Amino acid sequence: TEKEIELYYRTVLHVVSTAGKVVNEGFLGKKRVETKAGAADLVTEFDQRVEEILIKKLQEEFPTHKFIAEESAASGVKTTFGDDPTWIIDPIDGTTNFVHGFPFVAISIALAIKKQVVIGVIFNPVLDLLYSAVHGKGAFKNGRPIRCSGQTELGLSQVAGEYGSSREPDVLSAKCKNLRVIIEKVHSIRAIGSAAMNLCMVAEGSCDAYFEYGIHIWDYAAGDLIAREAGAYTCDPSGGQLNLLHRCILCTASKELAGQISPLLTHVDFPDD
């Protein structure tokens, strides 16, 4: 019910603000950096600590709810996305930025009920930016409503795209080719290193589009809702319906723009989450 969603929303806002303090502590201090799937896929003790805090606090409040979270998945917990209320958590989206002191890092949390995301919260505690949305209620940045640019012309667009952490030659070639083919047609390309922050950039109108292959459900579940609530359009980069388990997204300030970008892309397949 609406009352329950309000309670979930208030609770998660409180929980991210607490966890944000731990992110900030780690951002400024020394941290232990380890690798996961490859030499450029990084994790720190702060990713794990922040995730533990988030899950613990949400579990205390909502003991029947389920969780999908990046570091739990990395340690072998299988991703099961069912109908139960499920919190989808990336404790630090932009871990490479976090390691290098580049301030685009964010806690990303979505709540899905019956597989539909109803709450999205993205908090960058370093820059003190809180993006949030509840389904049907609009998107907000630090409490103020935001709207996407509405841009319909690719030639007038600023587009965000990423290289990601895979160093697999075929994957890298396709990603470089995609950015190469887009740059030719647009004002500029930006790569700020966080899927969640990229989606917020489209939501607030500072980028007109964002696409990426190889990301995970916790990277884009919250940002997808925030962007849509800000008037943006999201889909599978191949043009079909967005699938949160499908490891990719195209998010644009208008449906027209998606129609111009999608045919230009070389599609890269990753195994579903």
Residue 71 in contact with ligand LIP, rule: CB under 6 A: no
Buried b / exposed e across 198-216, counting CB within 10 Å, b at 16+?
bbbbbbbbebbbbbbbbbb
Catalytic residue among 47, 70, 162, 229: 70
Residue 44 in contact with ligand LIP, rule: CB under 6 A: no
Residue 93 in contact with ligand LIP, rule: CB under 6 A: yes
Closer to ligand LIP by CB, 5 or 159: give it: 159
Per the listing, tokens 């696409």 go with 211
Residues annotated within the binding site for Mg(2+) are 70, 90, 92-93, 219
**Residue 39 amino acid letter:** A
Decide: 191 and 88 in contact? Cβ < 8 Å: no
98's enclosing H/E stretch is helix 95-100
Give the binding-site size for ligand LIP (rule: CB under 6 A): 14
Rule CB under 6 A: choose which of 162, 204, 229, 273 binds ligand LIP.
Answer: 162
Closer to ligand LIP by CB, 213 or 233: give it: 213
To the query of whether residue 92 is one of the catalytic residues in this protein, the response is yes
Residues 11-30 that bind ligand LIP (CB under 6 A): none
Decide: 157 and 208 in contact? Cβ < 8 Å: yes
Q: Could you give the C-alpha distances from 269 to 29, 234, 240, 247, 272, in angstroms and in order?
A: 37, 18, 14, 8, 9
> Shortest Cβ distance from residue 52 to ligand LIP (Å)?
16
Closer to ligand LIP by CB, 8 or 210: give it: 210
33's enclosing H/E stretch is strand 33-35
Indicate which residues carry an active-site annotation: 70, 90, 92-93, 95, 219
Please report, as ranges, the residues that interact with ligand LIP according to CB under 6 A.
70, 90, 93-95, 162, 164-165, 193-195, 212, 215, 219
